[in-house]
Amino acid sequence: MKRLLLLIPLLGMLVGCHDIPEYDNTRRDNFNCLWTLIDEHYCFFDSVEEDWAAIGERYRQQADTAKSPRALFDVCAEMVNELHDGHVNLSSSFDVSYYRAWWSDYPQDFNLRCLQTYYLNMDWHTVCGMYYKILPSGLGYIYYPSFSYTLGDGNIAVVLNYFKDCKGLIIDIRNNGGGELSNVHTLVGHFIDHSFTGTYTCYKTGPGHNDFSDLYGVEYKPSPYEAWKKPVALLTNRSCFSAANDFVAVMKSLPNVRVVGARTGGGGGMPFTYDLPIGWTIRMSVAPTYDSQKRSIESGIDPSPGCSVTASDSELAAGKDAILDFAQQLLLKENLSAPAGVKY
């Protein structure tokens, strides 16, 4: 968590930009409170297709005629889904809104049962939520399904040492919907041998849609163990989101890493939660993240050049994972290791 202490003053700025008006627990005030919180704090209006004021006016009329709290919730949920952001969720005691099209409108490119049956032969090691095994090709393989699984430096070091005689390593994070950023820092730390700026972020300085601070760097530090410098293939699909998206952004900047598969689902905004008078909460993206080249990662990250691969449902059902196969061929034929004597 020490690596995330830099975000604490940022959160203070998010709620302290200006005076917050008082709202009553009425249909109109709850709607206006929700609309205003998003208007003043949401950080990706440059990606919203329709003017937010026009969206608010259209849904406000529906909110005024809502016959029940559930009906009001449904109207508000439709409005927040206009942002097309998986980090925006309206929560109540009876429902949670969720925008799914960021992944549901795209091929899955992954089948866990195919992986377990045809590539791992229903036999693998497990630590910290990760599957790991040496594949028949002689390459090391890790499947990490969620950054919600806490990672320890010692555990990761044991896994990487297990692969010490392997020519390369495959890290598969397909279907990883995110989790804790602290785990991103921990895992990245085993692939670098000095501190570096892996991403950038900024924060809101006022209620205007373009009121942002200057960018500042987010530092990534090496683990206390020897860094892995052999070739790495990082497997992705559209369901990689949030913290997983950050991990791809940082790892892609390393010279011995290739990102293989499909564009990630994005989720490049740090979420924060606010309360409504009715007792509901609204979570939204409030601080954008940029990669090491200061490019937004909100809409996702492409595979490395020449490494865009699809895995059809029919092929996966038949036991063929084209993305994993491509990654193995890539690592076996290419020399992607970090140059000797050069630190990353």
pLDDT digits (tens, 9 = 90+) for 10-51: 444 444 455 567 899 999 999 999 999 999 999 999 999 999
Query: What's the pLDDT band for 335 if we cut at 50, 70, 90?
Result: low
Q: Could you tell me the two tokens for 138? A: 């002689």
> Rounded CA gap, 321 and 172, in Å?
12
Packing angle, helices 69-81 and 27-41, rounded to 10? 20
For the domain bounded by 106-192+227-265+300-333, which CATH number is listed? 3.90.226.10
Average pLDDT for residues 237-265, to the nearest whole number? 99
The answer for residues whose C-beta is within 8 angstroms of residue 234's C-beta and 6 or more apart is: 171, 173, 248, 251, 252, 257, 258, 259, 260
Q: Work out the average pLDDT over 252-275.
A: 98
pLDDT number for residue 344: 43
The model's pTM is 0.91
Please check whether residue 1 is in contact with residue 183, taking contact to mean a CB–CB distance below 8 angstroms: no
Q: Where are the alpha helices (DSSP H) in the chain?
A: 7-15, 27-41, 52-64, 69-81, 101-104, 112-114, 153-162, 181-188, 243-252, 313-317, 322-333
Six token digits for residue 67? 């016959």
Q: What is the pLDDT of residues 102-115, one digit of tens each?
A: 999 999 999 999 99
Domain(s) labelled CATH 3.90.226.10 in the chain stretch across: 106-192+227-265+300-333
β-bridge partners, 213: none
Task: State the CB neighbour count (10 A cutoff) for residue 52.
Answer: 17
